[in-house]
Chains A and B, each alone.
Chain A
Amino acid sequence: MSLRTRETIKLKLKINGEDNCFAILPGDRLSTVLRREGYLSVKTGCYTGDCGTCTVLLDGQPIVSCLMLAAQAQGSSLTTVEALAQGSELHLLQKAFLDEGAVQCGFCTPGMLLSALALLRRVPHPSEEQVREAFSGNLCRCTGYERPVRAVLKAAAATEESSK
């Protein structure tokens, strides 16, 4: 068997609940494919897993999509920020980010929203420390994290009220 050169791979992937099939190259990063296919909420900052701007949920868990080859995601289910708003109705977390002024340049925001979403699914009423821990893989140079942390706590409290 000889080494086949850069053969394209058919990647089947569920993104935000929709089935997709993309032609990819063996060395394509997942973040590259997502951006190429129009999921532009997925930012790429460092390509070393440090900044967290390329965070997506893979089968519900936050991962950095720059450090996964797209071919490894075969058959998985992904969530990006595009899934959060229902039509023109923003997700509770998005509203809280706006209300608290947690968005400055906005580059880290999609990654932060997904880290926060994963946290709230696991821990509906987190402590401030848990929120900070959940953000430890999302670098932000603008906000100093204060407002994003407050926004998540606010969204968690709002969930409590609406479920009463």
Chain B
Amino acid sequence: MAVKVFFNPASPQEAVRLMYEQPGRGAYLAGGTDLLCSPEWPDFVVNIRGLLATLAQEAGELVIGAAATISRIAAWQALSEADDGLMQSCARGFASEQIRNMATVGGNLASAVPSADFATPLLALEAQCVIQAPEGQRTIPLEGFFAGPHQSVLDRELLLKIRLPLPSAGVRTEFLKIGRNPGDIATINVATLLELECDKIQKARIALGAVAPTPIRAYAAEEFLAGKPASDENIQRAADLAREAVQPISDQRASADYRRQMSMVLTRRALQRCLGRNQ
């Protein structure tokens, strides 16, 4: 099994055209940290490293090129100012420095691993995915991007960029993860976002990973918190609702019961930290 042809397209449109027109099994190649670990290599690769790496601040939103590396995103000040350090905190525990210098946000999402660390903060930030298809571009919410374990809605289309609507000023966020060590794959990860007004929760976003076939949002918990005082009781109730939203499996890293229980614990802990209460 060997890669027979290496393509260096000059544009995303050309990259997609190659993927649809070339015979054999093809793959987009950016960071390579997933693709080159897989036992079966494709017949041809379409290199998009460096093609989609732009970080840009546009009207009311931040735009992350799909091939931007984890390191560059972590170092992007406009982002960490806007999201209260959410993505940066997630990136800090993302594998090792070598991998962070190679792996890309687009690859992390397109691989569609249920434990993907960048999926939960981006779900909490209500990211939009811009996708290049042969007939043109379309934009879908990240919630609609994952189809199942290792499966996204992309066929041979290309994830171009992630658009993040700017959260309101004063937003509070938190990312928490359980793994054997800080850089490990997540046994479970949670991202939370709170918009507050005078100790009342205006808006809550809660996303959980590695506890369902895809990264998920805990909608019932979010809706429960909207408009409620930020009391310990309400936070606990939201955490209980998050536990009800998950459908974990047992595997070599943890049992389903453990994941269910930790969904509640991490959600509570993350929300409390958003409120400045150290738990």
Contacts and interface: CB of A to CB of B under 8 A. Distances in A.
Are A and B genuine complex partners?
A: yes
Interface of A: 1-7, 9, 25-27, 29, 47-49, 52, 55, 58, 61-64, 66-69, 71-72, 74, 115, 118, 133-134, 136-138
Given A3-B4, A136-B182, 18 more contacts: A1-B22, A3-B22, A25-B2, A26-B4, A48-B37, A49-B98, A49-B102, A52-B96, A63-B98, A64-B98, A67-B31, A68-B36, A69-B45, A71-B8, A115-B98, A136-B183, A137-B98, A137-B99
Interface residues of B, number: 32
Given A1-B21, A6-B4, A137 B97 contact: yes
Interface in B1-38: 2-6, 8, 21-24, 29, 31-33, 36-37
B182 A26 contact: no
A71 B36 contact: no
Contacts of B21: 1
A4 B4 contact: yes
B77 interface: no
Contacts of A64: 33, 98-99, 102
Contacts of B3: 26-27, 69
A49 B4 contact: no
A72 B48 CA distance: 9
Given A66-B36, A72-B29, A61 B71 contact: yes
Contacts of A47: 36-37
Contacts of B2: 6, 25-27
B47 to A, nearest CB: 6
A7 B2 CA distance: 12
26 contacts: A3-B22, A3-B23, A3-B43, A4-B4, A4-B5, A7-B5, A9-B6, A26-B2, A26-B4, A26-B6, A26-B44, A27-B6, A52-B98, A62-B98, A63-B98, A63-B102, A66-B36, A67-B37, A68-B32, A68-B102, A69-B3, A69-B36, A71-B6, A136-B96, A137-B96, A137-B97
A132 to B, nearest CB: 10
B265 interface: no
B139 to A, nearest CB: 28
A52 B71 CA distance: 17
B49 interface: yes
A61 B183 CA distance: 18
For the complex of A and B, the 3 pairs showing the least CB-CB separation, nearest first, are: A137-B96, A27-B3, A26-B6
Contact of A72 (B22, B24, B47): B47
Contacts of B101: 58, 61-63
B171 interface: no
B219 to A, nearest CB: 35
B95 interface: yes
B41 interface: yes
A26 B45 contact: yes
Nearest to B35: A67
Contact of B24 (A3, A26, A49, A115): A3
B71 to A, nearest CB: 7
